[in-house]
């Protein structure tokens, strides 16, 4: 499985691209982590820690360009929030914000513009973030927390 995932990453993501990994980088023998990381051609890997990353976080943070629990970025004016765990509401949900997560292996029912981007429910393939956002902005906006497109976020 490791080889399949790494080969799929290397076939899609080039050396100077940016890879966002949403947690659970490795399970089992954690001593393999440096070798697994070295086999990925992409130099720019940002990891958001998952529930199986405790030892990796303590020993191997230096192998990644950045680490954390949560990240937000804008793709063509759309706010994209990312973390390992699915959440029920996120920043700018009522204005079209997108939430990307892993953890649930495709079993968590998405809310509006939310997607499980875990490799195991995406044919073990990494997803292109710009293409994903372009597809997801076509989905309806949900307003589950009282924050609508008319709510001031500033």
Query: pLDDT digits over 120-137, tens only?
Result: 999 999 999 999 999 999
How far apart are alpha carbons 103 and 105 in whole angstroms? 6
How far apart are alpha carbons 8 and 5 in whole angstroms? 5
How far apart are alpha carbons 131 and 18 in whole angstroms? 14
Q: Which run of H or of E encompasses 74?
A: strand 70-75
pLDDT, tens only, 44-74:
999 999 999 999 999 999 999 999 999 999 9
Q: Looking at residues 6-11, what average pLDDT do you find? A: 98
CATH class of 2-136: alpha beta
Do 98 and 130 touch, CB atoms closer than 8 A? no
Q: How confident is the model at residue 145 (pLDDT cuts 50, 70, 90)?
A: confident
- For the entire predicted model, the pTM comes to 0.92
Residue 1 pLDDT: 85
pLDDT, tens only, 71-99:
999 999 999 999 999 999 999 999 999 99
pLDDT, tens only, 16-29:
999 999 999 998 88
């Amino acid at each position: 499985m490791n080889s399949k995932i790494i080969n799929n990453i290397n076939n899609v993501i080039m050396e100077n691209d940016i890879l966002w990994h949403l947690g659970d980088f490795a399970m089992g023998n954690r001593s393999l982590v440096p070798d697994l990381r070295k086999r990925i051609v992409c130099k720019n890997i940002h990891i958001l820690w998952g529930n199986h990353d405790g030892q990796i976080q303590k020993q191997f943070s230096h192998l990644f360009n950045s680490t954390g629990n949560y990240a937000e970025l804008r793709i063509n004016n759309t706010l994209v929030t990312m973390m390992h765990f699915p959440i029920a509401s996120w920043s700018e949900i009522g204005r079209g914000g997108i939430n990307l997560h892993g953890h649930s292996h495709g079993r968590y029912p998405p809310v509006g513009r939310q997607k499980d981007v875990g490799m195991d429910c995406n044919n073990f393939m990494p997803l292109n973030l710009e293409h994903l956002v372009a597809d997801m902005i076509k989905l309806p906006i949900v307003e589950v927390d009282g924050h609508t497109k008319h709510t001031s976020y500033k």
